[in-house]
Amino acid sequence: MTAVDAITEAQDVPVEWSAIRGTAKRAFDVVVGVPLCVLAVAPLLILALVLAVQHRASPVFVHQRIGHRGRTVSIPKLRTLPPGTPIYADKTVTDLEPASRFARFLRSSHLDELPQLFLVPLGRMSLVGPRPRMANEAADHGDIAYEAVRTSVLQGCTGLWQISGHHGRVSDRPEFDHFYVEQHTLRLDAWILWRTVRQLFAPGEVGLDEIPAWTLRQPDRRVPDAA
């Protein structure tokens, strides 16, 4: 059985999202996501043009990642590494690849993931949620129970791990995904979006204890159970 098959069949996900919460989150994604897509068109075209000139290749490539309930989702990204770089190379490998200062900025600011915004109106991703992982990373650097929890909700363009300022793999800090799934509210989504924009201008680390209590579903449970 593959990792994706096991995730799909996983049972007893600890947090059940009600239909009302899911509908409200989808409405939030559409109402906020569509205007963001419109605003992103011009910057995305400029970034893509610069990368196309630098690499003399298509400025966009596509990853196959694990999405909601273990289903495969195609994730577009801006190309920040030379065309010959394996697209499924481990992050510890790609970090050693030569890259221009412009490309390094896109990677550190996560602007290379800007094309994923256009998956939100289509319902394939959410604005906020656990980041989608590559299948080989899920198999090698995570357990099935953890992956079942993080894929019990729609994967996000940004999330708690992304604004945390930590580097490395998502699975290195599973507490961020557990916390998000347990404590999700639309207020938390709005706060994460604001912090995502702020990180572009003032990078820094964000701990779970720094998340405002007013954004949480259960403010008295500020520290999630261990994964």
**Burial of 100 from C-beta contacts in 10 A (0-12 / 13-18 / 19+):** middle
How buried is residue 203: exposed, middle or buried, by Cβ count under 10 Å (0-12/13-18/19+)? exposed
Name the pLDDT band for 6 (thresholds 50, 70, 90): very low
- What is residue 167's predicted lDDT score, i.e. its pLDDT? 67
Enter the pTM of the model. 0.83
Q: Is the pLDDT of residue 126 over 50?
A: yes
Instruction: Walk across the sheet containing 72-78 and list its strands.
Output: 72-78, 60-66, 133-134
DSSP 130: S
Question: Residue 81 — very low, low, confident or very high, per pLDDT cuts 50/70/90?
Answer: confident
Read off the pLDDT band of 140 (50, 70, 90): low
Indicate whether 142 pLDDT > 80. Answer: no
Please provide residue 153's backbone torsions phi and psi, each rounded to the nearest 5 degrees: -125, 165
Buried b (16+ CB within 10 A) or exposed e, 158-173: bbbbbbbeeeebbbeb
Q: What is the pLDDT of residues 146-158, one digit of tens each?
A: 888 888 899 999 9
The alpha carbon of 63 is separated from its chain's Cα centroid by a whole number of angstroms, namely 13
| Nearest-angstrom CA–CA distance, 2 and 173 | 23
